[in-house]
Amino acid sequence: MSHKLHISPEHLLSLLKQMLRIRRFEEKCAELYSLQKIRGFLHLYVGEEAVAVGTMSVLKPEDIIVSTYREHGHALARGLSMDKIMAEMYGKSNGCSRGRGGSMHLFDAQNHFYGGNAIVGGGLPLAVGLAMAIKKRGIEQAVAVCFFGEGAVAEGAFHESLNLAALWQLPVLFICENNRYAMGTALSLSESEQDIANKASSYAIDSQQVDGMNVVDVEAAVAAALETVRGEGKPYLLECLTYRFRGHSMFDSEQYRDKDEVKQWQEDGPIQRLSAWLRDNYLLTDHQLATMGFEISAEIEQAINFAEQGEWEATTDLYRDVYTPEAFP
Beta pairing partners, 209: 239
Residue range 277-296, pLDDT digits in tens: 999 999 999 999 999 999 99
Domain assignment of residue 325, yes or no = no
Residue range 77-136, pLDDT digits in tens: 999 999 999 999 999 999 999 999 999 999 999 999 998 999 999 999 999 999 999 999
Domain assignment of residue 327, yes or no = no
The CATH code of the domain that includes 95 is 3.40.50.970
Question: How do 172-178 and 181-182 pair as beta strands?
Answer: unpaired
Alpha-helical regions (H) of the chain = 9-34, 49-56, 72-78, 82-90, 123-137, 156-167, 196-199, 215-232, 259-267, 270-280, 286-309
Mean pLDDT of 45-51: 98
Q: Average pLDDT, whole number, for the chain?
A: 94
Domain assignment of residue 131, yes or no = yes
Contact call for residues 21 and 299 (beta carbons, < 8 A): yes
Domain assignment of residue 328, yes or no = no
pTM here? 0.94
Domain assignment of residue 77, yes or no = yes
What is the 8-class DSSP label of residue 216?
A: H
Residue range 65-77, pLDDT digits in tens: 999 999 999 999 9
Domain assignment of residue 49, yes or no = yes
- Structural domain that includes position 122: 9-317
Burial of 50 (C-beta count, 10 Å sphere; 0-12/13-18/19+): buried
Closest CA to 90 of 45, 29, 43, 44: 29
Domain assignment of residue 1, yes or no = no
Domain assignment of residue 76, yes or no = yes
The domain total for the chain is 1
